[in-house]
């Protein structure tokens, strides 16, 4: 894969890491508090639009500094596009779709042992792993990989887990030992 395409992909994942409610909600709340403070001091008239703009500007700066640049950290990792051909699998996603996972420690892009998963559709996902510039296309035959992946992806959900298949959501809830309300498009 050309370097410029890898860079676009890295920036795309970075965007999906920061645009989620888990990140946006607390930043918006702090932005609101800051703008109310400025209004009370007479420095700026409070309005919701300014709150959102301030929060968005801050979000765009997260992971973009020279010393902590998330897209550059992705560029240092190997990439695989992994898929399940001709099978009826359902990879779940959530309101926090980019997931870092490490069996040995708290995950971080700076660790070689941290994998990053991002579902692309119900039978395809991206995986960043190790250090290097490899690009692999991985065809899975063992569908139990999907159940493990769904569990990993669901553990970092903020409030919602998504799947086009009700039984997938029920399996995730059972494995996580939680009670959930499963809403399918016809039942919303």
Q: Would you say 137 and 81 are in contact if contact means Cβ atoms under 8 Å apart? A: yes
Residues 88 and 10 in one domain: no
Domain annotation covers residue 32: yes
Distance CA 150, CA 171 (A): 9
Among 84-88, 103-107, 114-118, 179-183, name the most confident range: 114-118
Mean pLDDT of the chain: 88
Distance CA 20, CA 58 (A): 14
Q: What pLDDT is attached to residue 21?
A: 80
Domain annotation covers residue 70: no
| Confidence category of residue 83, pLDDT binned at 50, 70, 90 | very high
Residues 26 and 53 in one domain: yes
Q: At what angle do helices 21-40 and 3-18 cross, to 10 degrees?
A: 60
Residues 47 and 133 in one domain: no
Task: Kindly report the backbone phi and psi dihedral angles of residue 109, in degrees, each rounded to the nearest multiple of 5, phi listed first.
Answer: -60, -25
Residues 54 and 81 in one domain: no
Domain annotation covers residue 173: yes
Domain annotation covers residue 51: yes
Containing structural domain, residue 109: 76-187
Domain annotation covers residue 26: yes
Domain count, the chain: 2
Q: What number is the average pLDDT over the span 23-52? A: 90
Q: At what angle do helices 166-176 and 144-155 cross, to 10 degrees?
A: 70
């Amino acid at each position: 894969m050309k370097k410029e395409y890898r860079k676009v992909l890295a920036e795309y994942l970075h965007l999906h890491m920061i645009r989620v409610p888990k990140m946006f909600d607390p930043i918006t709340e702090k932005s609101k508090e800051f703008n109310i403070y400025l209004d009370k001091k007479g420095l700026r008239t409070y309005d919701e639009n300014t709150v959102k703009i301030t929060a968005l500007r801050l979000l765009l700066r997260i992971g973009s500094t020279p010393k902590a640049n998330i897209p550059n950290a992705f560029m240092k990792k190997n990439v695989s596009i992994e898929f399940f051909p001709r099978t009826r699998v359902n990879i779940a996603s959530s309101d926090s779709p980019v997931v870092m996972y490490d069996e040995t420690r708290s995950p971080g892009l700076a660790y070689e042992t941290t994998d990053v998963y991002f579902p692309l559709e119900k039978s395809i996902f991206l995986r960043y792993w190790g250090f290097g510039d490899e690009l692999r296309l991985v065809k899975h035959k063992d569908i139990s990989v999907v159940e493990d992946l769904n569990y990993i992806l669901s553990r970092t959900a903020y409030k919602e887990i998504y799947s086009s298949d009700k039984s997938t959501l029920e399996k995730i809830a059972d494995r996580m030992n939680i009670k959930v309300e499963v809403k399918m498009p016809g039942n919303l």
